[in-house]
Amino acid sequence: MRILKAVIWDLDETLLAGILAEGDKEVNPQAERCLAELEKRGVLQALATQNQPEIVPSALELLGWSDLFAQVVVSLGPKAKKVKTILKTLDTSPLDTVFVDEDPFERGAVAAQIPGISAWSVSELEAFLAGETTVVTEEGRQRAQMYREQRARERDGAEAVDYETFLHSCNIRLAIRPYVPADALRVEELLTRTHRMNLGAISVERAIARLSQPDEHRVIVAEMRDVYGDMGRCGLIHLTPNGSGEALIESLAISCRTRARGLSLAMFVGLLRHPDAKFQRYRCRYIADDANRPLRMLLMAAGFRPQRGTDWLMLEAEDLERLQLPAWAHFEYQGASVAEVR
């Protein structure tokens, strides 16, 4: 089943009923319904349009769309080039992205030049949304807003004279705690939607089934917030003890929201340092795919070492303890027998 994370729109005769350069600003009502539904679901939306750059911002403001699009690329060049720029900026895979244009030539051209992307008409997008019944969590619904907050962080960080001082001013707080049943939908969402930082050693179905077996499995969840907003539950780790001081990491998923702040490693270490997750050593199986190379880099940075001739990696507890967490990130360990701030 498709995981829809981003929609890249054409403007003329797609979002609009006519052509902007000819003075048309009437909105296509079918597209307008899709815009609202995508915003409600937290799907990132972007705009790739062949127009004069100077006429688009005022039109977006007039239409009430100034803050709607996560990225706007305006030029007279090929659509595919603009779409590639948006995918890179949003750090989104073509497999999770739909390009929407009412012109079948443009859809064909983009699909031919960007492997994996879906190129749909507005009617095809509306039909997909009508048939998509996946339950969206609060974090999922807030995804577009969180991206806008991230842009504000990046803008303020770029303007800061001292970046580390800026990071301290963000008051970044991570709460690390055991899984509770109310986390079930969000855990499934993380395991399903996260690609680059997803271990995926067992199926999502098996991972979800084991959440109801706390005596045999340890599942730890991480939440994150800062002065710009609450990012919600951004990470999880699922460990199975073997009874001799070792734990097998069966599932690991860390949202890309942490990568934007340089916190992926810190969150991973924080998850492993929760009292319920402490063991003498950790073992995991890394199976490479087209998307999860950043996860291997994360595992190696955390001190995992490959076991020769296999796809298994091992981490000793003493190596984990030697890692330094950033001073500008505040960790609160909840649940179990400890509640402390580091």
Q: What is the pLDDT of residue 153?
A: 64
Tens digits of residue pLDDT in 289-302: 766 777 888 899 99
Q: Which residues contact 235 (CB under 8 A, 6 or more apart)?
A: 190, 221, 222, 224, 253, 254, 255, 258, 267, 268, 271
How many of the other CB atoms lie within 10 Å of CB of 112? 11
pLDDT at 238 > cutoff 80: yes
How many of the other CB atoms lie within 10 Å of CB of 143? 23
Q: Categorize the per-residue pLDDT at 53 as very low, low, confident or very high, splitting at 50, 70 and 90.
A: confident
Q: What is the pLDDT of residue 1?
A: 45
**What radius of gyration do the chain's Cα atoms show?**
22
* CA quadruple 305, 306, 307, 308: dihedral sign: negative
User: What's the average model confidence in pLDDT over 254-258?
Assistant: 77
Residue 247's SS3 state is strand
The residue among 17 and 158 whose pLDDT is bigger is 17
Tens digits of residue pLDDT in 318-338: 999 999 888 889 999 998 643
Q: Give the residue carrying structure tokens 């296999």.
A: 310
| Packing angle, helices 122-131 and 29-41, rounded to 10 | 40
Q: What is the pLDDT of residue 22?
A: 83
User: What's the average model confidence in pLDDT over 116-127?
Assistant: 95
**In this structure, what token pair is assigned to residue 192?**
């399903």
Range scoring the smallest mean pLDDT among 137-151, 182-196, 227-241, 279-293: 137-151
Buried b / exposed e over 49-78, threshold 16 CB at 10 Å, is bbbeeeebeebbeeeebeebbbbbbbeeee
Buried b / exposed e over 191-205, threshold 16 CB at 10 Å, is bebbbbbbbbbbebe
pLDDT at 105 > cutoff 90: no
Q: What is the pLDDT of residue 42?
A: 84
Q: What is the pLDDT of residue 48?
A: 95
Counting residues of the chain whose pLDDT is more than 70, the rounded percentage is 85
pLDDT at 50 > cutoff 70: yes
pLDDT at 93 > cutoff 70: yes
**In this structure, what token pair is assigned to residue 204?**
């999502």
Q: Give the residue carrying structure tokens 């009412």.
A: 102
Q: Are 224 and 174 in contact (CB under 8 A)?
A: yes
Q: What is the pLDDT of residue 338?
A: 39
Q: What is the pLDDT of residue 200?
A: 65
Tens digits of residue pLDDT in 274-321: 999 999 999 998 877 766 777 888 899 999 999 888 889 999 999 999
Counting residues of the chain whose pLDDT is more than 90, the rounded percentage is 43
Q: What is the pLDDT of residue 170?
A: 84
Q: Give the residue carrying structure tokens 């955390």.
A: 302
Return the CATH architecture of domain 6-131.
3-Layer(aba) Sandwich (3.40)
User: What's the average model confidence in pLDDT over 152-179?
Assistant: 79
Name the residue among 116, 108, 136 with its Cα closest to residue 39: 136
Q: What is the pLDDT of residue 67?
A: 84
The structural domains of the chain, with segments of one domain joined by +, span 6-131, 167-341
Q: Are 302 and 268 in contact (CB under 8 A)?
A: yes
The residue among 267 and 164 whose pLDDT is bigger is 267
User: What's the average model confidence in pLDDT over 42-68?
Assistant: 90
DSSP tag of 263: -
CA pair distance 341, 331, nearest whole angstrom: 5
User: What's the average model confidence in pLDDT over 115-119?
Assistant: 94
User: What's the average model confidence in pLDDT over 21-38?
Assistant: 92
Q: Categorize the per-residue pLDDT at 150 as very low, low, confident or very high, splitting at 50, 70 and 90.
A: low
The residue among 63 and 155 whose pLDDT is bigger is 63
Class at the top of the CATH hierarchy for domain 167-341: alpha beta
Mean of all residue pLDDT scores within the chain = 85
For residue 193, give the H/E element and its range. Answer: helix 184-193
Query: In terms of C-beta density within 10 A (0-12 exposed, 13-18 middle, 19 or more buried), how is residue 181 classed?
Result: exposed
